[in-house]
Amino acid sequence: MTLRRHYSTRLDSARVALAALIAGTAFGFCLPASAAETTYQDLLNASAAPQNWLMRMGNYSNWNNSALAQINRGNVANLKLKFMLSLGDPARPTKATQYFTPLVEDGFMYVGNQWHQYWKLDVREERAKTVWKFDAKVQGGGKSAHSVALLGNNMYFNTGNDSPNPRLVAVDKNSGEVVFDISTSIPEAPDQGHSAAPLAVKDKIIIGSTGRNESGRGYVAAYAADTGKLLWKFLVVPEPGQPGSETWVDKRTMAFGGGGVWTEPSYDPETNLVYFGTGNPVHMFDPQGRPGDNLYTSSIIALDVDTGQLKWHFQTIPNEAWDYDAVAITQLYNVNIGGELRKVISQTNRNGYFYTLDRTNGQFIKGEPFTTVNWTAGLDSKTGKPIDYDPSKSVQDYAGKAVRYGKKAIDVRPAHYGMPTFMPNTYDPTRGITYFNAMIGEANYFNSRPADPVKGVPGTGFREIFCGSHTKDNAVEPIVRNVTNPNCKVSHGLLGGIDVHTGNTVKKLDSYYPAYSGVLGTDGGLIFMGNIMGKISAYDKDTMQELWSFDTGTQFAGNPMTYSVNGKQYIALTLGGRPARDEGSFPEAMALGQDVMLVVFGL
């Protein structure tokens, strides 16, 4: 595979058709043209070519904002459904967790489903014409990847953490043929898988991995884009004797220490650093079972792209207790703070704080709450750690809300479930605002089984919606926990906007139904997102007024994206839903059908 652009040459349709016909698991359809190569320079300049959407969040800085403005506040009310395509498999169940964000390059779309079946579609004529379909033939399935990556002549994807055999696969963009198909299992962290899309940087494909069933150890790895050769790997929970291992008091807990890498990183070509958010320590509700600060879990880590060397880290919560991981999407931008232009990385964290750090060295700049927080008394203005963190203790008890054996942590705010994780923010550089969506609620947390390091078994526990009742420790309360119980503090939706200069939340729109879709922004002054009832809406960035909506009739959790062809702008997303316990808080949401589909809107 060459990573050099061939501007003047294209494969003729006969070669495309022939290659497609001989592809192992791909089914080819003759088209008049093939796609040009995707160069590293194309990815660096992705924002300058808004007709394309070349990576999950649109650019390396994860802005998730498009310069397209044909669809705008003045005409979005006229937005109509243009075409749909079923992404289901008639031989398999329709229910899914469908997160997938489509990519578009030069009028060709790449999209996938929960069974790791992928399509290349020609969408140049306002309809979806299949170029090829590729079936990875996974075992398991039921949860899609977040997206794919493009580089050179290839499309890259990972198989999910619900499949027993994790893989990185490269498929030729023109023919649908397999270029390589490799196992991503490593001996230090077995029983892993992937949810995040790969990231293509230079001549490398960088992936994150997380344990199946909330166990094991997360890691980051880089592979050669042309051959799939493993180039380097970084373990989130280090090996004994390595830096960070001293923060695990009981070394026996390290083998199942957690720190999954669930989401896509950001990347800064100036620093040559890739920034990942890491998951909570395992088990998520057993801080006593894994004493110590538990590095590098619940952290933002900066790795050198070429070597995988850790350059800096920032841990949000040492010895974390409530699944407040740090996997939320990070964003990069330069901003004036206190009269000084700073190169920052920010994160709208699951723990209720918006963090701003210096992306060159990880220095804490500020952290401001975007919702009610009671698990800590606040953040230290110099270190960014919780004020109640005590470095002399190996087990922390923040604000008296940490989980303890035999005792529930009552009415912890915010509830972790549905807070920002894989749902992207959108950063508007003109307004200096990052917009986000979240589920805001209250919860009880408890441990139901302590860790057993001798047997290598992590602890376990649970989280339940706070309903003002407390009759049992170490068990679920025997009451109805959904919206039919007026005492329950069921999570509601929040669409918010944070001023990146101050870290303060300056825009808020509360909603009855929460959302998992993430937030897409455009230079048309619009925000697009959808809720658990299957409604996608367009909002005014300034007034937060809903200007348009469409009821899809099925659950969805995929992030919307936008592209243009022949001067016409479109909004696209995949349907498929995310059936989970917080949708269980709304029986009407659970009653919705599930159909995995591609849906595209235009004027």
pLDDT of 11 higher than 80: no
Comparison of pLDDT for 553 and 161, the residue scoring more: 553
Pick from 114-128, 165-179, 535-549, 581-595: least confident: 581-595
Comparison of pLDDT for 208 and 453, the residue scoring more: 208
| Amino acid at position 116, single letter | H
Looking at the DSSP assignment, which residues form a beta bridge with residue 178? 171
The encoded tokens of residue 156 equal 């890259």
Question: What pLDDT was estimated at residue 450?
Answer: 86
Comparison of pLDDT for 148 and 12, the residue scoring more: 148
Question: What pLDDT was estimated at residue 2?
Answer: 40
- Burial string for 316-348 (b: 16+ CB within 10 Å, else e) reads bbbbbbbbbbbbbbbbbbebebeeeebbbbbbb
Average pLDDT, the chain: 89
pLDDT of 291 higher than 70: yes
**Which run of H or of E encompasses 44?**
helix 40-44
The encoded tokens of residue 21 equal 């016909």
What's the rounded Cα separation, in Å, for the pair 382 and 373?
Answer: 19
Residue 361 region by backbone torsions, left for phi larger than 0, else alpha for psi between -120 and 50, else beta: alpha
31-51: average pLDDT: 87
For 415, residues 6+ apart whose C-beta sits below 8 A from its C-beta are 439, 440, 441, 442, 443, 463, 465, 466, 491
pLDDT of 501 higher than 90: yes
496-504: average pLDDT: 97
pLDDT 10s digits, 124-165: 999 999 999 999 998 766 788 899 999 999 999 998 766 778
Query: What's the distance, Cα to Cα, between the start and end of the chain in Å?
Result: 39
Q: In whole angstroms, how far apart are CA 516 and each of 63, 220, 274, 328, 591?
A: 18, 25, 25, 12, 17
The encoded tokens of residue 573 equal 């997303």
Residue 126 region by backbone torsions, left for phi larger than 0, else alpha for psi between -120 and 50, else beta: left
Question: What pLDDT was estimated at residue 23?
Answer: 37
pLDDT 10s digits, 75-107: 999 999 999 999 988 887 766 678 899 999 999
Instruction: Place domain 13-132+148-388+402-602 in its CATH homologous superfamily.
Output: Quinoprotein alcohol dehydrogenase-like superfamily (2.140.10.10)
Q: In whole angstroms, how far apart are CA 99 and each of 54, 113, 148, 438, 598?
A: 17, 9, 12, 16, 12
352-363: average pLDDT: 98
Question: What pLDDT was estimated at residue 28?
Answer: 41
| Amino acid at position 361, single letter | N
pLDDT of 21 higher than 50: no
Phi, psi of 357 (to 5 degrees): -125, 155
Question: What pLDDT was estimated at residue 148?
Answer: 97
pLDDT band at 280 (very low <50, low <70, confident <90, very high): very high
pLDDT of 447 higher than 70: yes
Pseudo-torsion of CA 540, 542, 545, 549, nearest 10°? 20
Global confidence as pTM: 0.93
Residue whose structure tokens are 């898988």: 193
Contact 555, 589 (CB under 8 A): yes
pLDDT band at 545 (very low <50, low <70, confident <90, very high): very high
pLDDT band at 473 (very low <50, low <70, confident <90, very high): confident
pLDDT band at 8 (very low <50, low <70, confident <90, very high): very low
What secondary structure letter does DSSP report for 125?
T
pLDDT 10s digits, 190-248: 777 888 999 999 999 999 998 766 667 899 999 999 999 999 999 999 999 999 999 99
What's the rounded Cα separation, in Å, for the pair 281 and 259?
Answer: 6
Pick from 307-316, 455-464, 575-584: least confident: 575-584
Question: What pLDDT was estimated at residue 582?
Answer: 61
Pick from 391-400, 525-534, 580-589: least confident: 580-589
Question: What pLDDT was estimated at residue 14?
Answer: 35
**Percent of the chain at pLDDT exceeding 70:** 91
Q: How far is CA 154 from the centre of its chain?
A: 22
427-456: average pLDDT: 91
pLDDT 10s digits, 402-428: 999 988 889 999 998 878 888 999 999
Question: What pLDDT was estimated at residue 470?
Answer: 79
**Where do the DSSP E strands lie in 278-329?**
299-304, 310-315
What secondary structure letter does DSSP report for 316?
S
pLDDT band at 7 (very low <50, low <70, confident <90, very high): very low
pLDDT of 12 higher than 80: no
